[in-house]
Chains A and B, each alone.
Chain A
Amino acid sequence: MLFLQGLRSSYAGAALVGTRTARYFEAMFDSSSPSRPAVQPPAPRPLGQVNWLGLWTLYLKEVRRFLNVITQTVLAPMVTALLFLAIFTLALGRGDLVVHGLPYALFLAPGLIVMTMLQNSFANTSSSVLISKVQGNIVDVLMPPLSSFEFTLAYAAAGVTRGLLVGLVTGVAMMVFVPLPLHQPIAIFWFAFNASLMLALLGLIGGIWAEKFDHIAAVTNFVVVPLSFLSGTFYSVERLPENWLFIAHLNPFFYLIDGFRYGLIGVHDGDILRGAVIVGVVNAVLWALAYGLVSRGYKLKP
């Protein structure tokens, strides 16, 4: 404020005398008035413990990035999920296929919703970081006064936002065809949130690690898609052979899908409480890893 006042007064004086620049510098370095210097050099804004404004700005930038192409980022996944619902209900349903005592469409819908959430939270953070790296504008988010914590949080939160938004839109669209009873809201929220967070963090780590689009396409094709397809989205893991069942229980995606399905329709294959704890722990570990990579500047800073 003081700085601005000084500027203004110096400009007013400059206009009177005529040589504006000369007057301006005179005013700037004028030491004849000891009580109050005409101009003070700009000082950095005090940021406090957390740079809330910076955090919020980066978050908004990330959210606007995907909202800008909402057809591709929100509506397209919804349509794909509905397509899957149609195919599997038509091909498998025939109205008489029953899983856990429920019609197959009802069993399938929660799996498809959470699968869509998983794929989209991953896509959001991984593509954002990678595009910034490839285009070179990553410096624009590394230079500002944002700590590694704020950086990680803003990206992860935007990924979670996309995941939850896509999940919500897909869920509402599916409600038109399949009435979902919303059995346990707390479980729905906990598993939806953790599913989005887990993949947003994985996407962040993947985006930091990848050097070109082929890398991230490979991770999507060979890790994210198979895991989200084969972790009980389309079938009850009880149908797996014995030794596969054991492997399924080691897979955190299984707990995400199983828990989310329990929240929506009340049936589950595994232990819900154990699943809730496991996904929380996995997310804490992934958070630490992502934060560590960002703060070390791994493949981000030269």
Chain B
Amino acid sequence: MSSRLEPAWRTPPSWGRVAWYPLWSLYRRELMRYRRNAPESVGGALIYSLMFLAVFTLAWPSTIELQPGVSAIGFLVPGIAAFALFHGAFENAAFSLLYDKLEGMLGDLLMAPLTPLETVVAYVTAAATGALITGSIALGVLVLLVPVPLASLFPIVGFAVLGSLLFALLGFLTGMWADKWDRYAVIDTFIVMPLGLLSGTFFTPALLPETGQILMHTNPIFYLIDGFRSGFTGAAEASPLFGFLLCSTLVFGLGLLAWRLFARGWRIQS
């Protein structure tokens, strides 16, 4: 008798400790969004990379040597690719989250059977993946055009993954904090672009005055770019291992912060 009166709810699927299927779905949705925006984002990154290459090549006296034993172009190309990669990661993550928030689509996601940690992981890794694709395309085109040395693949991949995760987390936090597109543009112009362009992307600390050199060595992005470049040129300004550990710690810390803030619904849930 009682069993007939009970509503016929479908039992929710049991996901186990990690909801792999929803996590994978969200990750795939984010990648599909990346693909949709690809002509604009990849095209833009590619154009800027080529512009930087052309402008530096034309403006530079051909004899210049920024790092001892490394050609100017060999020094430059990894920097340009790193900037395209990092900026792309920031853009992807911030755009996705802010768009979902402003269009009111984030509610659908908060209702879904995903823990906050799973949501953060899906957004950030998808943004990083997209950026790695953009960065690879930019690097590929640059390598086709000019000769670039290759010393070791390991630091290139390691620092590329680490850097894209770091900037994706920065983008994610920006997306959470911003309440309109204007705010996002402020963070992009006043923090991310200077960080990406002035952290040894196009010059070595040796070119700077004393205080600039000290500042540079306290900047984690410098270690990222320097480590990434050392995979090409084989010459690093700072210890790549130290840089790797420092940036891993930073990624871990920012990830923790993003997770806790997202779990608390900071600037997301009213």
Q: Which residues on A are within 8 Å of B, measured CB to CB?
A: 69, 71-72, 75-76, 79-80, 83, 86-88, 90-92, 94, 97, 104, 214, 217-218, 221-222, 225-226, 229-230, 233-235, 239-240
Contacts and interface: CB of A to CB of B under 8 A. Distances in A.
Q: What interface size band does chain B fall in?
A: 20 to 34
B80 to A, nearest CB: 11
16 contacts: A69-B182, A75-B189, A76-B186, A79-B190, A80-B193, A83-B193, A91-B56, A92-B56, A221-B40, A221-B43, A221-B47, A229-B55, A230-B55, A234-B55, A234-B58, A240-B58
B39 interface: yes
B48 interface: yes
Contacts of A69: 182
A132 B145 CA distance: 41
Given A76-B189, A226-B51, 19 more contacts: A71-B182, A79-B193, A83-B194, A88-B59, A90-B207, A90-B208, A91-B202, A91-B203, A92-B60, A94-B207, A104-B59, A217-B44, A218-B39, A218-B43, A229-B54, A230-B54, A234-B55, A235-B58, A240-B58
B237 to A, nearest CB: 15
Given A222-B43, A225-B48, A86 B198 contact: yes
Nearest to A230: B54
Interface of B: 39-40, 43-44, 47-48, 51, 54-56, 58-61, 64, 66, 182, 185-186, 189-190, 193-194, 197-198, 201-203, 207-208
A225 B45 CA distance: 12
B66 A91 contact: yes
Nearest to A229: B51
Contacts of A235: 55, 58-59
9 closest residue pairs by CB, A with B: A76-B189, A235-B59, A91-B203, A91-B202, A234-B55, A235-B58, A229-B51, A72-B185, A90-B203
Contacts of A239: 58-59
Residue of A72, A94, A222 most packed against chain B (CB within 10 A):
A72
A87 B60 contact: no
Contacts of B189: 72, 75-76, 79-80
Given A87-B203, A90-B207, A222 B47 contact: yes
Nearest to A213: B40
A79 B85 CA distance: 21
Contact of B185 (A76, A218, A222): A76
A75 B203 CA distance: 26
A102 to B, nearest CB: 14
Nearest to B188: A76
Contacts of A71: 182, 185-186
A79 B44 CA distance: 20
A216 to B, nearest CB: 10
A79 B189 CA distance: 7
Nearest to A217: B40
Given A72-B185, A226-B47, A226-B51, A214 B203 contact: no
Contacts of A92: 56, 59-60, 64
Contacts of B194: 79, 83
A294 to B, nearest CB: 27
A226 to B, nearest CB: 6
B58 to A, nearest CB: 4
A71 B182 CA distance: 8
A240 B18 CA distance: 59
Contacts of B61: 97
Contacts of B43: 218, 221-222
Contacts of A230: 51, 54-55
Contacts of B59: 88, 92, 104, 234-235, 239
Contacts of B208: 90
